[in-house]
Structure 1
Amino acid sequence: MKIAVVGAGAMGSVYAGLLGDAGNEVWAVDIWKEHIEAIHDQGLRVEGKSGDRTVRIKATIHPEDVGTCDLIVIATKAMHVESAARSIKSLIGVETSVLTIQNGLGSFEKVAAALGEERVTIGVAGGFGASIKGPAHVHHNGMELIRLGELNGPVTPRLLSIESVWSDAGFNVKAYDDIKRMVWEKLICNVCFSGICTVSESQIGQVLEDSELWKIAKGCAEEAYKVALAKGIRLSFNEPVPYVLAFGQKMPRARPSMLLDHIEGRGSEIEAINGAIVREGTANGVSTPFNSVITSLVLAKESKLGLR
């Protein structure tokens, strides 16, 4: 299968490397010239839970170099997904499927508006802990699960075909009839820890051990849970605090990607995570004071750091 991975950051590089190692024709597309040139010259090293390998794949900063693909994986940060989708129209053929994998809310709608809802599917990735070690070198601590779904369900033959490609590449992957539930269940965990870890510059375990930080974190999660119920999302749990606590206890030394973005001098996905709860809460009549304050603090911090 010919696959383009658009956005070859940490997660995108893991996807590209393992899909390429499975025998697919993979193109990494990214604006980071040094990274792309290193992949082109020496291959992409993927190290971590999946092993340690260097994979020869194609790489470019120019989407028009790629040509028509069978599958396009959009793996950019949420704030870049709209421009990424607009830049890849030359990759779209009659049978092309697009899989967009981002944190938070809103990315699917932007991709669907740019490329057509009928060709777009949703992915939810969890438990990778991926980071870029340098140009053409990515590391990941785990590879828990890739969840796949159609926007309005149920599972389709197209989705099962995509699932098979990822499974053959060594990913734990499962197609779901109700992907909205999966999006929200991950979002509630992200909302709990991402913003507060970023503001306090803490690992997840440090938040759990600090009563004041944990009060704010669980307040964010409880608000997100209430918003999900107001939207009619059918969650698999009835108590959000034990759910997010169990999630956090599995990775006490982890630093959410939002905090890592700040450490590496980048803006974050705050508006697609905690900020999304504020917007959806307003639209559905749910008060979200914890998420409102956290969103404002992260945005203010980014302005102070010159990231906005």
Structure 2
Amino acid sequence: MSKIAIVGTGAMGSVYAGLLASAGNEVWAVDTWAEHIDAIRRNGLRVEGASGDRVAHPHATTDAAEAGQCDLVVIATKARDVVEAATAAKPLVGADTVVLTIQNGLGSAERIAGALGDGRGVAVGIVGGFGASIPEPGHVRHEGWEMLHMGQLDGPVTPELETVASVWSDAGFRVSTYDDIELMVWEKFLCNVCYSGTCAVTGLTIGEVIEDPHAWRIASGCATEAWEVGRALGVPLAIEDPVDYVRRFGSTIPHARPSMLLDVLAGRLSEIDVINGAVPEQAARAGLRAPFNEVVTALVRQRESRLLPA
């Protein structure tokens, strides 16, 4: 049994907390969403969907210090919140604690490592094919259960990370470890870029985007630009046909709505800056342009501008 803190129990973090707790680990769900935490305390955490239907009973708190030091700390917040989350998670982190960050987009792991300080190494997780959402506090659903890749931010996979991978595998996750985690980040990034902004702008599910020729032109254009940028920057992508790659990925979760769409529908700020918005920034480094992503990013930011203080 491992002692695990999941910092950020939105949809994906709740899936992690529920399934890891069901496997017999001591899990602490840590979040600032008091209503969700209170529901887990009262009734447990219901996890339904591709993994079945169960009620798990992780510990739940809004104060990370309550949990104490853990074997594994998973930072599962939105990318915009990672520095704040890492700072709040410091009471959970001991000398032998493995810190694993799982976010969409680019750059979160570096920001977390900086926030933790003291040269602490950070492990990076990439997940895909879950399609998770929270119907109500204390209840999470996921449409798929496809993959979890892990690697160190700097350097090859360590024995400690292999032990962490085994903990997740024992809980039913499909886990692989990689020495070149940057490559895995970019392969997932292509899928995020394809569907996140397009779904947020159109309101369509992933499957509906694939089937709609107008939406698919936008989505596949976004993915192709990201692929071109990655190749230009020297990322060793083995993908020869990015459109086929993202289509096959999306076909595994046709009913899913990306978290960016859920954010837009809920009136929350999204992760547009580290997903579609990151492509033009990376393109500039390579002397390229990314017009599909520029337009999609601008449309999402326009909607979000109403949420920002004047």
Scaled by the length of structure 1, what TM-score is found?
Answer: 0.95
Is the CA contact (8 Å cut-off) linking 1:266 and 1:307 kept in structure 2? no
Give the Å deviation of 1:206.
Answer: 2.9
Range with bigger deviation, 197-206 or 136-145 = 197-206
Within 2, Cα distance between the matches of 1:176 and 1:226?
23
Q: Do structure 1's residue 119 and structure 2's residue 121 form an aligned pair?
A: yes
SS in 2 for 1:143: coil
SS in 1 for 2:204: coil
1:259 to 258, 261, 268: 261
Give the Å deviation of 1:275.
Answer: 0.7
Give the Å deviation of 1:57.
Answer: 1.6
Write out per-residue CA displacement over residues 222-274 of structure 1, whole angstroms, 9 at most, x where no aligned residue.
Answer: 11011111221111212212212222333333322211111122111110100
Within 2, Cα distance between the matches of 1:246 and 1:107?
26
Is the CA contact (8 Å cut-off) linking 1:265 and 1:307 kept in structure 2? no
Give the match for residue 225 of structure 2.
223
RMSD: 1.5
Within 2, Cα distance between the matches of 1:251 and 1:169?
21
| 1:1-308 paired onto structure 2 within 5 Å | 1-116=2-117, 118-304=120-306, 306=307
SS in 2 for 1:95: strand
Gaps of 5+ in 1: none
Letter in 1 for 2:253: M
> Relative to 1, partners in 2 of residues 1:52 and 1:286: Cα closer, same or farther, differing over 3 Å?
same
Gaps of 5+ in 2: none
Within 2, Cα distance between the matches of 1:232 and 1:300?
32
Within 2, Cα distance between the matches of 1:52 and 1:253?
18
Write out per-residue CA displacement over residues 1-42 of structure 1, whole angstroms, 9 at most, x where no aligned residue.
Answer: 111100011111111111111121111000010111111122
Give the Å deviation of 1:191.
Answer: 0.7
Within 2, Cα distance between the matches of 1:152 and 1:187?
19
Within 2, Cα distance between the matches of 1:138 and 1:220?
29
> Relative to 1, partners in 2 of residues 1:208 and 1:17: Cα closer, same or farther, differing over 3 Å?
closer
Within 1, Cα distance between the matches of 2:13 and 2:223?
27
Within 1, Cα distance between the matches of 2:278 and 2:157?
26
Within 1, Cα distance between the matches of 2:302 and 2:80?
17
Within 2, Cα distance between the matches of 1:27 and 1:179?
27
Within 1, Cα distance between the matches of 2:275 and 2:284?
15
Give the Å deviation of 1:307.
Answer: 5.9
SS in 1 for 2:106: coil
- The percent identity for this pair of structures is 57
Give the Å deviation of 1:114.
Answer: 0.9
SS in 2 for 1:28: strand
Is the CA contact (8 Å cut-off) linking 2:131 and 2:253 kept in structure 1? no
SS in 2 for 1:46: strand
Is the CA contact (8 Å cut-off) linking 2:33 and 2:62 kept in structure 1? yes
Is the CA contact (8 Å cut-off) linking 2:260 and 2:270 kept in structure 1? yes
Is the CA contact (8 Å cut-off) linking 1:96 and 1:119 kept in structure 2? no
Within 2, Cα distance between the matches of 1:171 and 1:17?
12
Scaled by the length of structure 2, what TM-score is found?
Answer: 0.94
Is the CA contact (8 Å cut-off) linking 2:64 and 2:91 kept in structure 1? yes
Within 1, Cα distance between the matches of 2:250 and 2:3?
37
SS in 1 for 2:94: coil
Is the CA contact (8 Å cut-off) linking 2:152 and 2:181 kept in structure 1? yes
Letter in 2 for 1:218: S
Within 2, Cα distance between the matches of 1:46 and 1:114?
31
Number of residue pairs matched? 307
Give the Å deviation of 1:75.
Answer: 0.6
Within 2, Cα distance between the matches of 1:124 and 1:146?
6
Within 2, Cα distance between the matches of 1:275 and 1:5?
27
SS in 2 for 1:245: helix
